[in-house]
Homo-oligomer: A and B are copies of this chain.
Amino acid sequence: MSASAVTPAPTVGRPRAFDMEKALQKALEVFWRKGYEGASLPDLCEAMGINKPSLYAAFGNKEQLFLKTIELYENRPCAFFYPALEHATSYEVVKHMLCGAASTNADPDNPPGCVIVQGALACSESATFVKEALIAKRRAGEVALCTRLEQAKAEGDLPDHSDPAALARYILAVLQGMAVQATSGANCAELKQVAETVLAAWPGKRG
């Protein structure tokens, strides 16, 4: 995804002096660490290497900037959730989700946790729109996993008595809990133990 895909590059006028994609990456780091409301405009500008008018011209306002960083977060190379759905068995699907979460949430090169969990969990009224956007993102992940588990049940991968919706909610709860654990200082090995505990009891076929 090039910067010109975010905002069409104009053919005339003074050219932008910064890379929008890199600036978004820096903004993501700030929002990830401090949350939507905890990240101030000076925080963001300093990290992005630009000043406020440039930020507003390029991204709209703080809220739109945040939503764009979330898009980036979900599309970046190390995103693990949606690709995990492609695996052949429900066991492999949840294994890749849980292990991906362990790696990403506790990656020392990134802020701890998950910005979709901690970006706006409890906040003032002025952040309601952002909070609900993140709720929708979490919910979308749960629905996608539920659909995948329904398929697994239809294929005989999961037992007939299993409840895909409940299992999806359970897995999402564990993933979100792992994000909280990571912000509390849990490292990758500790999170992998959580993943292992879940996998050891997974009702689907192995392999």
Chain A positions within 8 Å of B, measured between CB atoms, are 32-35, 37-40, 43, 113, 115, 117-119, 121-124, 127, 135, 138-139, 163, 165-167, 169-170, 172-181, 183-186, 190, 193-194, 196-198, 201
When the two chains form their complex, are residues B122 and A197 in contact, meaning their CB atoms are under 8 A apart?
A: no
- The answer to whether A169 and B184 touch (CB under 8 A), given A113-B122, A122-B119, A176-B177, is no
Number of copies: 2
Q: Is the interface of A mostly helix, strand, loop or mixed?
A: helix
Q: A38-B37, A38-B122, A121-B121 are in contact. Are A170 and B184 (CB under 8 A)?
A: no
Residue of B nearest to A183 (CB): B121
In the complex, the chain B residue whose C-beta lies closest to that of A193 is B166
Q: With both chains docked as a complex, state the minimum distance between the C-beta of A166 and any C-beta of chain B, in angstroms.
A: 4
Given contacts A35-B121, A38-B124, A139-B184, contact A194 B166 (CB under 8 A): yes
CA distance A172 to B179 in the complex (A): 12
A203 CB to nearest B CB, Å: 8
A-B contact pairs, 29 of them (CB 8 A): A34-B123, A34-B124, A35-B123, A38-B123, A38-B124, A38-B127, A39-B124, A40-B124, A113-B121, A117-B121, A118-B121, A118-B122, A119-B122, A121-B121, A121-B180, A122-B183, A135-B184, A135-B185, A139-B184, A166-B193, A169-B181, A169-B193, A170-B193, A170-B198, A172-B177, A172-B181, A173-B178, A176-B180, A177-B180
